[in-house]
Amino acid sequence: MQNDTQNSSEQNFWISYADLMAGLLFVFILVVGAIVVKTMLIKSDLSALRSDLEKEKAALSISEKELFEKKRTLQKIKQKLQKTMEENLHLSMQISRLQSEVDDLQGEILLLKNDISIKSAKMSLTQKELDSVKKLLLASNEELQECNETKNRLSKKNESLLATLDEKEQSIHLKESEIAQLQKALLLKKREYQKVVEDLNITKLKIKHLTGIKIGVVKALKERLQDSIQIDPKSGSIRFSSNILFNQGSAKLKPEAKKELKKLLGKYIAALLEDQKVRKYIDTIIIEGHTNSDGSYLYNLNLSQQRALAVMEFLYKEFPKKRALLRHYLTASGRSFSQPVMKNGKEDKDASRRIEIKFRIKNEEAVKELMNYINKEKK
Q: Domain spans of the chain?
A: 59-201, 226-378
Cross-strand pairs, 354: 241, 290
Measured CA to CA, the distance from residue 331 to residue 316 in angstroms comes to 12
pLDDT at position 275 is: 81
Residue type, 281: Y
pLDDT exceeds cutoff 90 at 75? no
pTM above threshold 0.85: no
DSSP assignment letter at 236? -
Strands 330-334 and 238-241: unpaired
Measured CA to CA, the distance from residue 15 to residue 8 in angstroms comes to 10
pLDDT digits (tens, 9 = 90+) for 252-263: 999 988 988 888
Mean pLDDT of 346-369: 81
What mean pLDDT, rounded, does the chain reach?
Answer: 78
- What superfamily does domain 226-378 belong to in CATH? OmpA-like domain (3.30.1330.60)
Strands 330-334 and 282-290: parallel
Label residue 291 by pLDDT band (50, 70, 90).
Answer: very high
Q: Is 300 helix (H, G, I), strand (E, B) or coil?
A: helix
Residue type, 302: N
Fold of the 59-201 domain: Helix Hairpins (1.10.287)
pLDDT digits (tens, 9 = 90+) for 92-141: 777 777 777 767 767 777 777 676 666 655 555 456 666 676 676 676 67
| H/E element, 354 | strand 354-361
Nearby residues of 166 by Cβ (< 8 Å), 6 or more positions away: none
pLDDT digits (tens, 9 = 90+) for 298-327: 999 999 999 999 999 999 999 898 899 899
Measured CA to CA, the distance from residue 142 to residue 150 in angstroms comes to 12
Measured CA to CA, the distance from residue 117 to residue 115 in angstroms comes to 5
DSSP assignment letter at 253? B
Measured CA to CA, the distance from residue 190 to residue 182 in angstroms comes to 12
Which percentage of the chain shows pLDDT scores above 70?
79
Label residue 24 by pLDDT band (50, 70, 90).
Answer: confident
Residue closest to 210 by CA, chosen among 357, 77, 55, 371: 371
Mean pLDDT of 44-51: 77
pLDDT exceeds cutoff 80 at 251? yes
Instruction: Tell me the DSSP string of 164-230.
Output: HHHHHHHHHHHHHHHHHHHHHHHHHHHHHHHHHHHHHHHHHHHHHHHHHHHHHHHHHHHHHHTTSS-
> In the Cβ-directed half-sphere of 342, how many Cα atoms lie within 13 Å?
5
Measured CA to CA, the distance from residue 308 to residue 354 in angstroms comes to 10
pLDDT at position 125 is: 47
pLDDT at position 227 is: 66
